[in-house]
Structure formats: C-alpha cells, structure tokens
Structure 1
Amino acid sequence: DAFHVIFAVVTATLTFVGNGLMVVVIVRTRSLHLPQGYMLLSIAAADIVLGFEAVVGFINVILEHWPDALVGCLVMSYATSVAITVNIFTMAFMSIDRWLVIHKPFHYDTLMPSPKVYVVNALLWLVSIAFYTPFL
C-alpha cells in the first residue's frame, strides 16, 4: 500500500509540475502568445484537472476509502469527463488550426487571430461544462 501511495504522490507531483511549468512558460513568454500556445495552455489546464482526479481516485481505491461516495463519485466523474472532452475538442481545434496553416498560409493570420482563439477556447470549456452539468 505504501508503495502505491508514494507512486501516486510522485505521479501527481510530476503531472502538476510539468503542466504547471507549461502554463507558466506560455503565460510569461511573449513569443508563445500565439494560437498554438493558447491551445496548449488549454490542454495543460485540462491535464492538471485529469491528473488531480486520477491521483485522488487511485489513492481512494488503494486505501478503500471514499469520503462521500455519491458526491465524490459524481464530482470526480464530472471533472474527469469535462477535462477529457476539453482535451478532445482542443485537439480537434488544433487539427483545424494546422490544416489552415498548411492550406491557407497567407490568410492564416486573418483567419486565426489570437482573440478568436481565446473565444474558441472559452467556448470549448463552456460547452464541455454545459454538456455534463445535467449529469451532476
């Protein structure tokens, strides 16, 4: 049991540090304030949520302890579903972005300005949250 808990803590630490560093680097590095950077920021944020949920669930399984089974299960399922959906939507959005770069290189800057990417990222999160809210 101790090994599994230590493994979970190390995994969580690496997840948070790695994705946290991505967030800090993208936010603080002006040259990364591009559509791709903002999409990676969204994925890093979703991965932080997934990492937290996975480790909490893993520790609960190992310790065979669920503080409030129904509420805890609903909240964990909700957060995990939202984060996974955000990841999927963001990767699909990144695919469209890359397609535009390849097929419309001279129009890319007008088709994908940073403010548009902000709005799309916010919509991806809001749609994901709204989709799973009825299941709470």
Structure 2
Amino acid sequence: MLKENHSSVPEFILLGFSEPLEHTIILFVVFLIMYLVTLVGNSTIIFIIRVDAHLHTPMYFFLSILSFVDICLTTCTVPKLLINIFLERKSISFVGCFLQLHFFLSFGNMTGFLLAIMAVDRYLAISKPLHYAMLMSRGVRVRLVAGSWVIISLHSAAHSVMAARLSYCASNEIRHYFCDLPPLFKLSCSDTSPNELLLLTETTVFLMSPFLCITISYILIIITICGMPSTDGRYRAFSTCSSHLTAVALNYGPVLYTYIRPASAYSLEKDIIISVLYSVGNSLLNPFVYSIRNKEVKGALSRILSKRAMFWNK
C-alpha cells in the first residue's frame, strides 16, 4: 500500500560499490573475509560463554547478547552486498529496502543500549558486590534486554514507515551500499524535513541516552575505584571495564557522525567508509576486544580446548 500511494519505483539500485571488475573481486574477497571472521568470532564468544560455567554471570550474559546482535547487524547488509557486487543491476526491492533499514536501525541501536546496560552492570559489580547477584538476577537481565528491544523496534519502525511514505519519483539510485536514512532522504523528491527532524531529535535521544548512562556509570565507577584501599583491587576493578570502554569508543564515533547531522552534509565517499566501520568493523573487532583483553574469556577458551584435546587423545 505504501509503495503504491507514495512511490513510483518498484525497486532501488545500490550504487555504493560500482567499481571496475578487478576492484570488484578485491571488494568481494575483503567483505567475504570480514563477514566470515565476524560470524566465527562472535559465534565463538557465544559458544564459550554458553559452555563454560565460570562465565555464567550477568556481564557475560550481556556480552553473548551483544555478540548475537553483532552477527545480526552485519547480516543485515553484507550478504546483500556480496550478492550485488557481481550483478550488473545492483537492485533491492522497495519492501526489501525498508525491511533492511528497519532491522539495521534496530540492531544498531540495540548495540548502544546493550553497552549502556553493561556499563550499569559493571558499576553494580564494583560498587555493590554483596547485592550484585540479586540486583542483576536472571529475571532482571531478561527484562532489561526485552524492554530495550521493544523500545528500539518501535523507534526503528517509526523511521522506516515514515521513510517508506516519502515519494521517490526522480530517481531510484541510492548512493550507498545499503538502505540507510541519509541517502534515502537525499534521493526523495518530497519534503523530508519531518523525517530529518525526527532523526535529529529522537535519534539524538536514543543515541545520547545510552551514552549519558555510560558516562555517569563510569564516573561513579572511577569514584568507587579511587576509594578502594588496595592498589591490586583498583587494578582488577578497572581491568574488568577496559574491554567495554574500548567497545564504547569503537561504536559511538561512527554512529554520532552518521546520524547527528543534516542530510545536506551527506557525502558518498566518507559515509561509505564510516558505514563500513559501523556496520561491519565494530562487529568484526568486538570478539577480539573481549577476548584478547579479557583473562576470563581466554581462560575459558583454554579450558575448552584442553578438554577437547583430552577427549581426542583418549
């Protein structure tokens, strides 16, 4: 119904990577490797957390959800890109475009919410260790994740539906490698000011609220750590936060650049690079951030590999 009433285009053409054949092959190999590493890395994190009883804690519960979301976020864009790279007509259907937009926004925003929840979790673990298990019980964890997903889904649906109701009568060529809001606004031949206002206000709230929550949590964490009498205790407390802080830094830079600005500032070359960092790069790096910098994850992986080696040597 939306397509018939508000658009004369049955599909969109994705022009993000329209390269010569030799460059196309390189792009395909690079993105395929990045996607496979993302799948293997995040799946390994989920497997380790599920198998090792030492990691059945709130922090690693949220980390396993983050790894699942990273897989879904990358899957929203990369498989379609890999298919389109070798096709002469790099198309996506009208419905497929806005479904891709909806899920990309949903999983992208869920990453920010999970990072905020994980920051609060770290604060409670450090400042209230005696009550931590009760404050972060399984029921609380499930409600936090489920509640965040409901809110984010409604937010993403509002953007997707409003974007689908725009008119796309002048052209159907999206100057990007997936359907995202800024290039769609640039393509539309109708008034996009309500969409841009919603993007600037609501998305600012959805991006900055988790970021503010993370900032406040870490201010409180630093105050708590500074009050610890033991140097070793301060080091152990801060070391549990280092991986999370790295993930926060990797996530928020590209996101803030992409969405908190007017559509007139859209640039194909810069935005493709930033989008690759956000939609693929973070999901690729997170498993390494949470394994290389985390002794518990490395210890769990070592125990699992030792058990497998003992099993095969019998």
Mapped partners of 2:124, 2:106: distance in 1: 27
Confirm whether residue 100 of structure 1 aligns to residue 124 of structure 2: yes
Mapped partners of 2:126, 2:53: distance in 1: 24
Residue 25 of structure 1, CA deviation: 1.5
| Residue matched to 1:67 | 92
Residue 76 of structure 1, CA deviation: 1.5
| Residue matched to 2:66 | 43
Letter in 2 for 1:95: A
Deviations 1:78-128 (A, max 9, x none): 111111111100110111111112222222122111221122122222222
Give the match's secondary structure for 1:67.
strand
Among residues 41, 52, 65, which one is paired with 1:18 in the alignment?
A: 41
Letter in 2 for 1:37: Y
Among residues 94, 119, 126, which one is paired with 2:150 in the alignment?
A: 126
Q: TM-score, normalised by structure 1?
A: 0.87
Q: For the structure 1 residues 60 and 73, does the alpha-carbon distance in structure 2 shift closer, same or farther, using more than 3 Å as the test?
A: farther
Note the residue ranges of structure 1 that are not aligned, 5 or more in a row.
none
Among residues 79, 86, 89, which one is paired with 1:56 in the alignment?
A: 79
Letter in 2 for 1:90: L
Identify, as 1 or 2, the structure richer in helix: 1
Mapped partners of 2:147, 2:30: distance in 1: 35
Q: TM-score, normalised by structure 2?
A: 0.40
Mapped partners of 1:46, 1:132: distance in 2: 15
Q: RMSD of the TM alignment (CA)?
A: 1.8
Among residues 86, 102, 113, which one is paired with 1:78 in the alignment?
A: 102
Mapped partners of 2:40, 2:115: distance in 1: 22
Contact 1:39 1:90 in 2 (8 A): yes
Larger deviation, residues 125-134 vs 72-81: 125-134
Residue 30 of structure 1, CA deviation: 2.0
Mapped partners of 2:153, 2:30: distance in 1: 30
Larger radius of gyration: 2
Contact 1:81 1:132 in 2 (8 A): yes
Mapped partners of 1:49, 1:29: distance in 2: 24
Deviations 1:46-66 (A, max 9, x none): 100121123135436644512
Larger deviation, residues 117-126 vs 54-63: 54-63
Letter in 2 for 1:2: I
Contact 1:60 1:66 in 2 (8 A): no
Mapped partners of 2:95, 2:79: distance in 1: 14
Deviations 1:26-46 (A, max 9, x none): 122222121111100111111
Identity of aligned residues (%): 24
Letter in 2 for 1:44: S
Mapped partners of 2:77, 2:92: distance in 1: 16
